[in-house]
Chain A
């Protein structure tokens, strides 16, 4: 009798798993909430604050999409995902959007069946060593013990770099950034490697940041961006153009402070008018309201505002814009035109 009950439960579980349907937009609207996958906690990118509210750079993307679709930046259910669970959570429909500093790679895009909707942070892998070792280039690291945060593209880049330069190393896999810090400081590893943004954040937290140098080599490209499932192009478009709207808004000078004023009536700049829905029907093409971008920008500000508030130079993370400046200022951010 027990066995039958278990079998029955398994059948029900099996059947209900198949309900995840294709029209994500309808699902989100019916649910009234956007399920957004974020990290389990990386200050600056996604972490709950003292009041238990999620905030951060990736969180800003989630809130912008929620605002564009549902009109409410708070209508987000944040689902913390680890490096191991993130792709399964997205593929199975547990989350609608994954914004979790995930590197855009060929195999993730093609083989795993995901659609990267853009890049919200251009990163690259670097090395940090104590100054006293007297190392000035990563190519001098033959035989070194290297601490790596495991479960990222980092260890693949590292293996490639050392193989290409024909030098040996001893990898020490570490699960989290927090565990890596004492190991590096105690000297259990000579080198710490992770994304350059992470190195900057880690070094800033040291007692004597000046005793450590970040080597000049950046050995990989790490374009981090939000992603959605294959097979629902409309939803992919919504996520892609919400991100683009934030980037274009900075380029066009639309901020959370002046967006309401600019959206009140059509102004002199046609592109701003089209972006904010006072001209043309871009919102309707996406299946959203005409003022979708206004809500997205009002949620947390444009790209530049999100950057400065969460990871910019005036925050503890203290990252410079660098590659993440607008193309007009020598960076790589370049939103396709809104037309």
Chain B
């Protein structure tokens, strides 16, 4: 128990746990911890015993049984004979999908609106504040229902595409926008398409390398190299050349009206689009306010100083204001992402099969295992939320004010 740096006192004695100030606090904290664990163990045991007495036996065996129901949107293989666990995973992925899409779109809209709320143009400023006030002051469930209802009522249904004098027709012969969702052409990867994809990925890496080089040139030699047009060229030209050299290995599969529905292509369901859009515009209103607050938090002297150095307004925003504003914006932005993710549990209102719809909806109803399903549901959402926080905190640490 003793090391070289210890004072040359006697060896450790049991009484030191109480009498020695170095150990006393640990002793008491340890005792408190044991008591706390015992108390929770007692409460947990009590809960289980009482549930048992009430005829509610906690069992998760149902997760291994066949689910028996179908899910329309599945990102992983799933049939009605898959297990309830598989159905839950399908739900988790659907939740993550809409949360991911929603966070991206909400951020884009939110940043644009937040910046425009500070515009010098009176009309733009007022329009943006109307947007913010309308969308953040009406419950998101209402927005989801409104958007879904408008979606279904306004867009033509597949039956309107039928017949010789059809009321509706496909856009460019490739896209079908129907009340059931959007049917888009799907890429079909033939032989040699791997090379094209590899070239494409390599050119994206090339863009980053080029931009790094341009930055270095600016910082070290003061040489300003244009980046926009070269980046665009690197993005398109090599991939297009590879595509034609290899004999056009990637083709498109167009959706076609067959039987009751369009078949083929990619199908984005109306429920996904309505939910995605509603969550995005709702959360974007909050993000816009965060962005505005972040920009206003940067002292006006910074802008004036940058302007007096001769920077143009766009550069002032990108190089001076936004980097400083981000450290104010990011922490509340994390909360908004978490809100959006949790709000996605309203998906059942439009029939989107997210985690709440599968595990907390149909599985719960079919098995009658309400307590187990809800508990598992809580764990899933907790894990997702903590995961998002962890990722965003890493980013926050990267942009926060570094004190040297």
Contacts and interface: CB of A to CB of B under 8 A. Distances in A.
B365 A143 contact: no
B72 A160 contact: no
B149 interface: yes
Nearest to A191: B260
Interface string B119-152: 0000000000000000000000000000001001
Interface stretch (B14-22, B102-110, B347-355): B347-355
Nearest to A92: B54
Nearest to A83: B365
B397 interface: no
Nearest to B351: A173
B55 A187 contact: no
A173 B43 contact: no
B244 to A, nearest CB: 37
B182 interface: no
B258 A155 contact: no
Interface stretch (B44-52, B191-199, B283-291, B385-393): B44-52
A20 interface: yes
B364 interface: yes
Given A155-B69, A163-B80, A231-B55, A15 B365 contact: no
B68 interface: yes
B349 A175 contact: yes
B55 A229 contact: yes
B362 interface: yes
Contacts of A145: 180, 260-261
A108 B368 contact: yes
B353 A173 contact: yes
Contacts of A163: 80-81
A10 B43 contact: yes
B39 A183 contact: no
Contacts of B366: 153, 156
Interface string B369-388: 01100000000000000000
Contacts of B263: 143
Interface residues of A, number: 56
Interface residues of B, number: 48
A188 B180 contact: yes
Nearest to B68: A156
A88 B371 contact: yes
Given A11-B46, A156-B69, A169-B70, A186 B56 contact: no
B58 to A, nearest CB: 12
Contact of A20 (B46, B54, B68, B259): B54
A188 B270 contact: yes
A187 B168 CA distance: 14
A190 interface: yes
A183 B349 CA distance: 12
Contacts of B371: 88
A7 B36 CA distance: 10
Given A17-B54, A143-B263, A156-B68, A188 B364 contact: no
Given A143-B261, A159-B69, A188-B180, 18 more contacts: A15-B46, A20-B54, A84-B364, A85-B370, A88-B370, A91-B55, A107-B367, A108-B368, A141-B260, A150-B348, A150-B365, A152-B365, A155-B70, A159-B80, A171-B70, A172-B351, A173-B361, A186-B152
Interface of B: 39, 43, 46-47, 49-51, 53-56, 68-72, 80-81, 149, 152-153, 157-160, 179-180, 258-261, 263, 270-271, 348-349, 351, 353, 357, 361-362, 364-368, 370-371
Q: Which 7 A-B pairs have the closest CB atoms?
A: A187-B157, A159-B80, A151-B365, A18-B50, A87-B368, A143-B259, A144-B260
Interface of A: 7, 10-11, 14-15, 17-18, 20, 83-85, 87-88, 91-93, 107-108, 111-113, 132-133, 141-145, 150-153, 155-156, 158-160, 162-163, 169-175, 182-183, 186-190, 229-231
